[in-house]
Amino acid sequence: MGRGRPRKTDPEQALDTAMKVFWNKGFEGTSMSDLVCATGMAKPGLYACFGDKEALYKKSLTRYFDNLGTPLLDDLEHSTDPLPIVVRRFLETVAHSMLDESCPSGCFVVNSLIEGASQHPALKAIGKEYDQRRRDVFSQRFADAQKNGEIPTQVNAQALADFFAAQSLALGVMGRTGTNEKELSNFIDVALTALPANH
């Protein structure tokens, strides 16, 4: 086993905790003291494990996306379900995560895009990377759908993909302000009427 004094807190668990704090309170709104209290790790321990505050924020956002974003995008990319089914599942999963009782703080990526836009180019950059990844998967899936005849050839598949990708931005803001489940559900129902069926 290790040679020195044993860890009081598992770093992976500390990162999960830090993620929720940053997610909820933002970068500027979170102090290192907040993180010390929440994680149980002492301040020098945090710096030794994760680097400075910005590095810890980046790792938190990456953890968030690995947990929630990547599985969502994998399903969107690889599921053989019909397009309306898979798009609905995507939006409903996003909406469901907005109601997560353990951290009802909207979408961490959206929060990062908003807060990092002006002052923290590094944070904006990583947020935009994840935002772009989502958009790319939507674009690819909708282009395939048009080739497969799931949507009519005369519609602009790229615009349609961008539209549905952007709906998760609206859901993110709504989730942050406490919109309830029924309203989120209605929102998704209306959004899906913009998806043209091929018949």
Of these partners, its own copies, DNA, none, which one is at the site of residue 156 (CB under 5 to 8 Å by kind)? its own copies
How far separated are the first and last CA of the chain, in Å rounded? Answer: 64
Task: Rule CB under 8 A: choose which of 75, 77, 92, 115 binds its own copies.
Answer: 115
32 binding DNA? (CB under 7 A): yes
Task: Rule CB under 7 A: choose which of 24, 30, 97, 105 binds DNA.
Answer: 30
CB atoms within 10 A of CB 94: 22
Contact segment (CB under 8 A) with its own copies among 35-43, 51-59, 140-148, 152-160 equals 152-160
Kindly give the residue spans of alpha helices, DSSP state H, lying in the chain: 11-25, 32-39, 43-50, 53-64, 70-78, 83-98, 108-119, 121-147, 157-177, 181-192
CA distance 48 to 75: 36
CA distance 24 to 3: 36
Tokens 């996306």 belong to which residue?
A: 65
| Contacts with its own copies, 35-54, as mask; x by CB under 8 A | --------------------
Of these partners, its own copies, DNA, none, which one is at the site of residue 25 (CB under 5 to 8 Å by kind)? its own copies
Phi/psi class of residue 156: alpha, beta or left (left: φ > 0; alpha: ψ in -120 to 50)? beta
Binding residues with its own copies: total (CB under 8 A): 43
Contact 160, 193 (CB under 8 A): no
For DNA, give the closer residue by CB, 27 or 142.
27
For the CB of residue 158, give the shortest distance to its own copies in the complex, in Å.
8
| Contacts with its own copies, 85-114, as mask; x by CB under 8 A | --------------------xx---xx-xx
Nearest to 123 by CA among 55, 171, 73: 55
Binding region for its own copies (CB under 8 A):
24-26, 28-29, 105-106, 110-111, 113-115, 117-119, 124, 127-128, 131, 156, 158-160, 162-163, 166-167, 169-170, 172-174, 176-177, 183, 186-187, 189-191, 193-194, 196
